[in-house]
Amino acid sequence: MEKEMYTFSDKGGESVTLRPEATSSIVRAYIEHKLYAWDPEVRLYFIGPMFRYERPQKGRLRQFHQINAEVFGVAHPMVDAEVMGILIHLLRSLGLQGYRLEINSLGCPRCRPPFRERLRSYLEEHLRELCPDCRRRAERNPLRVFDCKVEGCQEVILQAPLLEGFLCEECRAHFGEVKNYLEDLGIPYEVNPRMVRGLDY
Protein backbone atom coordinates (compact mmCIF):
# COMPACT_ATOMS: atom_id res chain seq x y z
CA MET A 1 0.00 0.00 0.00
CA GLU A 2 2.74 2.48 0.95
CA LYS A 3 3.78 2.95 -2.62
CA GLU A 4 0.14 3.44 -3.65
CA MET A 5 -0.43 6.16 -1.07
CA TYR A 6 -1.27 9.60 -2.44
CA THR A 7 1.30 11.47 -0.37
CA PHE A 8 2.70 14.96 -0.98
CA SER A 9 4.12 17.93 0.90
CA ASP A 10 1.84 20.92 1.31
CA LYS A 11 3.00 24.55 1.13
CA GLY A 12 4.00 24.47 4.77
CA GLY A 13 6.18 21.41 4.21
CA GLU A 14 3.80 19.06 6.05
CA SER A 15 3.52 15.56 4.64
CA VAL A 16 -0.10 14.96 3.68
CA THR A 17 -1.69 11.65 2.66
CA LEU A 18 -5.14 11.47 1.10
CA ARG A 19 -7.27 8.63 2.40
CA PRO A 20 -6.82 5.45 0.32
CA GLU A 21 -9.92 3.68 1.63
CA ALA A 22 -12.56 4.03 4.34
CA THR A 23 -12.54 0.84 6.39
CA SER A 24 -9.83 1.91 8.83
CA SER A 25 -11.58 5.26 9.44
CA ILE A 26 -14.86 3.48 10.09
CA VAL A 27 -13.20 1.08 12.53
CA ARG A 28 -11.55 4.00 14.30
CA ALA A 29 -14.88 5.82 14.61
CA TYR A 30 -16.51 2.65 15.90
CA ILE A 31 -13.90 2.29 18.66
CA GLU A 32 -13.46 5.99 19.44
CA HIS A 33 -17.18 6.67 19.83
CA LYS A 34 -17.87 3.35 21.54
CA LEU A 35 -20.58 2.41 19.06
CA TYR A 36 -20.54 -1.11 20.49
CA ALA A 37 -22.15 0.33 23.64
CA TRP A 38 -24.88 1.89 21.53
CA ASP A 39 -25.92 -1.37 19.92
CA PRO A 40 -24.16 -4.77 20.02
CA GLU A 41 -24.86 -5.16 16.31
CA VAL A 42 -23.89 -2.14 14.23
CA ARG A 43 -24.36 -1.70 10.49
CA LEU A 44 -22.67 1.27 8.85
CA TYR A 45 -22.26 2.50 5.31
CA PHE A 46 -19.97 5.06 3.82
CA ILE A 47 -19.79 6.70 0.40
CA GLY A 48 -17.00 9.05 -0.60
CA PRO A 49 -13.98 9.86 -2.74
CA MET A 50 -10.72 7.98 -2.09
CA PHE A 51 -7.27 8.51 -3.55
CA ARG A 52 -4.50 6.15 -4.60
CA TYR A 53 -1.35 6.97 -6.46
CA GLU A 54 -1.55 4.04 -8.85
CA ARG A 55 -0.82 3.90 -12.53
CA PRO A 56 -4.12 5.11 -14.01
CA GLN A 57 -5.78 2.33 -15.99
CA LYS A 58 -8.89 2.05 -18.05
CA GLY A 59 -11.79 2.80 -15.71
CA ARG A 60 -9.42 3.33 -12.80
CA LEU A 61 -8.43 6.84 -11.82
CA ARG A 62 -6.39 8.15 -8.93
CA GLN A 63 -9.55 9.60 -7.44
CA PHE A 64 -12.43 7.17 -7.23
CA HIS A 65 -15.55 6.66 -5.16
CA GLN A 66 -15.84 3.84 -2.70
CA ILE A 67 -19.04 2.52 -1.18
CA ASN A 68 -18.52 0.66 2.08
CA ALA A 69 -20.90 -1.54 4.01
CA GLU A 70 -19.56 -2.63 7.39
CA VAL A 71 -21.14 -4.85 10.00
CA PHE A 72 -19.76 -5.01 13.54
CA GLY A 73 -20.64 -7.34 16.37
CA VAL A 74 -21.83 -10.39 14.40
CA ALA A 75 -19.64 -13.15 13.06
CA HIS A 76 -22.48 -15.13 11.50
CA PRO A 77 -21.88 -16.36 7.92
CA MET A 78 -25.27 -14.91 6.99
CA VAL A 79 -23.76 -11.43 7.41
CA ASP A 80 -21.06 -12.15 4.83
CA ALA A 81 -23.75 -13.19 2.37
CA GLU A 82 -25.84 -10.16 3.34
CA VAL A 83 -23.03 -7.70 2.51
CA MET A 84 -22.35 -9.42 -0.82
CA GLY A 85 -26.08 -9.38 -1.43
CA ILE A 86 -26.12 -5.58 -1.01
CA LEU A 87 -23.40 -5.25 -3.64
CA ILE A 88 -25.14 -7.54 -6.13
CA HIS A 89 -28.44 -5.76 -5.51
CA LEU A 90 -26.72 -2.45 -6.27
CA LEU A 91 -25.12 -3.76 -9.48
CA ARG A 92 -28.41 -5.27 -10.61
CA SER A 93 -30.41 -2.14 -9.93
CA LEU A 94 -27.86 -0.11 -11.92
CA GLY A 95 -28.52 -2.51 -14.78
CA LEU A 96 -24.88 -3.56 -14.98
CA GLN A 97 -23.95 -6.81 -16.64
CA GLY A 98 -20.81 -8.80 -17.25
CA TYR A 99 -19.63 -8.79 -13.63
CA ARG A 100 -18.87 -11.86 -11.57
CA LEU A 101 -18.61 -12.42 -7.86
CA GLU A 102 -15.45 -14.17 -6.72
CA ILE A 103 -15.16 -15.31 -3.13
CA ASN A 104 -12.52 -16.90 -0.93
CA SER A 105 -11.91 -17.54 2.75
CA LEU A 106 -8.96 -15.86 4.45
CA GLY A 107 -9.15 -18.20 7.44
CA CYS A 108 -8.77 -16.99 11.01
CA PRO A 109 -5.91 -16.14 13.40
CA ARG A 110 -5.76 -19.85 14.22
CA CYS A 111 -5.42 -21.38 10.75
CA ARG A 112 -3.73 -18.49 8.90
CA PRO A 113 -0.31 -18.50 10.68
CA PRO A 114 0.57 -22.13 9.78
CA PHE A 115 -0.42 -21.41 6.19
CA ARG A 116 1.61 -18.19 6.14
CA GLU A 117 4.67 -20.13 7.33
CA ARG A 118 4.18 -22.78 4.66
CA LEU A 119 3.75 -20.09 2.00
CA ARG A 120 6.79 -18.19 3.25
CA SER A 121 9.03 -21.22 2.94
CA TYR A 122 7.64 -21.95 -0.53
CA LEU A 123 8.38 -18.35 -1.61
CA GLU A 124 11.88 -18.57 -0.10
CA GLU A 125 12.59 -21.39 -2.52
CA HIS A 126 11.46 -19.22 -5.42
CA LEU A 127 12.89 -15.85 -4.38
CA ARG A 128 14.91 -15.43 -7.57
CA GLU A 129 11.77 -15.73 -9.72
CA LEU A 130 9.96 -12.99 -7.78
CA CYS A 131 9.92 -9.25 -8.50
CA PRO A 132 11.79 -6.99 -6.00
CA ASP A 133 8.50 -6.00 -4.27
CA CYS A 134 7.51 -9.62 -3.76
CA ARG A 135 10.97 -10.55 -2.48
CA ARG A 136 10.32 -8.04 0.29
CA ARG A 137 6.72 -9.23 0.78
CA ALA A 138 7.77 -12.88 0.93
CA GLU A 139 9.26 -12.20 4.34
CA ARG A 140 6.94 -9.51 5.73
CA ASN A 141 3.55 -10.23 4.23
CA PRO A 142 3.70 -13.33 2.01
CA LEU A 143 -0.04 -13.36 1.31
CA ARG A 144 0.38 -10.13 -0.62
CA VAL A 145 2.37 -11.96 -3.30
CA PHE A 146 -0.97 -13.39 -4.52
CA ASP A 147 -1.94 -9.83 -5.52
CA CYS A 148 1.11 -9.18 -7.69
CA LYS A 149 0.46 -8.68 -11.37
CA VAL A 150 4.06 -9.32 -12.51
CA GLU A 151 4.16 -12.34 -14.81
CA GLY A 152 7.01 -14.15 -13.05
CA CYS A 153 5.24 -13.79 -9.71
CA GLN A 154 1.98 -15.07 -11.18
CA GLU A 155 3.79 -18.21 -12.32
CA VAL A 156 5.20 -18.80 -8.84
CA ILE A 157 1.73 -18.23 -7.36
CA LEU A 158 0.12 -20.80 -9.65
CA GLN A 159 2.10 -23.54 -7.88
CA ALA A 160 1.89 -22.02 -4.40
CA PRO A 161 0.16 -23.78 -1.50
CA LEU A 162 -3.39 -22.50 -0.97
CA LEU A 163 -5.10 -21.44 2.24
CA GLU A 164 -7.98 -23.74 1.31
CA GLY A 165 -5.99 -26.76 2.45
CA PHE A 166 -5.18 -25.12 5.81
CA LEU A 167 -8.64 -23.90 6.90
CA CYS A 168 -9.63 -25.07 10.36
CA GLU A 169 -12.91 -26.87 10.83
CA GLU A 170 -14.74 -23.72 11.91
CA CYS A 171 -13.52 -21.67 8.95
CA ARG A 172 -14.39 -24.47 6.57
CA ALA A 173 -17.90 -24.68 8.03
CA HIS A 174 -18.29 -20.88 7.98
CA PHE A 175 -17.24 -20.67 4.33
CA GLY A 176 -19.60 -23.51 3.45
CA GLU A 177 -22.46 -21.63 5.12
CA VAL A 178 -21.64 -18.41 3.25
CA LYS A 179 -21.88 -20.34 -0.02
CA ASN A 180 -25.20 -21.87 1.05
CA TYR A 181 -26.65 -18.44 1.89
CA LEU A 182 -25.47 -17.01 -1.45
CA GLU A 183 -27.21 -19.88 -3.19
CA ASP A 184 -30.36 -19.24 -1.14
CA LEU A 185 -30.23 -15.59 -2.21
CA GLY A 186 -29.89 -16.64 -5.85
CA ILE A 187 -26.46 -15.01 -6.18
CA PRO A 188 -24.04 -16.80 -8.53
CA TYR A 189 -20.40 -16.85 -7.37
CA GLU A 190 -17.05 -18.43 -8.16
CA VAL A 191 -14.54 -19.56 -5.56
CA ASN A 192 -11.14 -18.07 -6.39
CA PRO A 193 -8.65 -19.69 -4.00
CA ARG A 194 -5.89 -17.27 -5.10
CA MET A 195 -7.85 -14.10 -4.35
CA VAL A 196 -6.22 -12.57 -1.30
CA ARG A 197 -6.99 -8.86 -1.26
CA GLY A 198 -5.24 -6.98 1.41
CA LEU A 199 -3.51 -3.71 2.03
CA ASP A 200 0.02 -3.37 3.43
CA TYR A 201 -0.40 -1.36 6.58
Site of interaction with Zn ion (CB under 5 A)? 107-108, 110-111, 131, 134, 148, 150, 153, 168, 171
Q: Closest CB to Zn ion among 101 and 150?
A: 150
Phi/psi class of residue 164: alpha, beta or left (left: φ > 0; alpha: ψ in -120 to 50)? alpha
> Which 3 state secondary structure label does DSSP give 8?
strand
Give the residue with the Cβ less far from Zn ion, 20 or 107: 107
- CB contact set of 32 (below 8 Å; sequence gap of 6+): none
**Closest distance of CB 7 from Zn ion, Å:** 22
Q: How far is the CB of 121 from Zn ion (least distance, A)?
A: 18
Min dist CB 135 to Zn ion, Å, is: 8
CB closer to Zn ion, 33 vs 110: 110
| Residue 133 beta carbon to Zn ion: minimum distance, rounded to whole angstroms | 5
Of 32 and 169, nearer to Zn ion (C-beta) is 169
Looking at the chain, list the stretches that DSSP marks H as alpha helix, in order from N- to C-terminal side.
23-32, 35-38, 77-93, 112-125, 132-140, 151-158, 169-184
Min CB(153)–Zn ion separation in Å: 3
- Compare residues 85 and 137 and give the one whose CB is closer to Zn ion: 137
How is 137-179 classified by DSSP, letter by letter?
HHHH-GGGGGG---HHHHHHHHTS--GGGG--HHHHHHHHHHH
Cα radius of gyration rounded to whole Å, the chain: 19
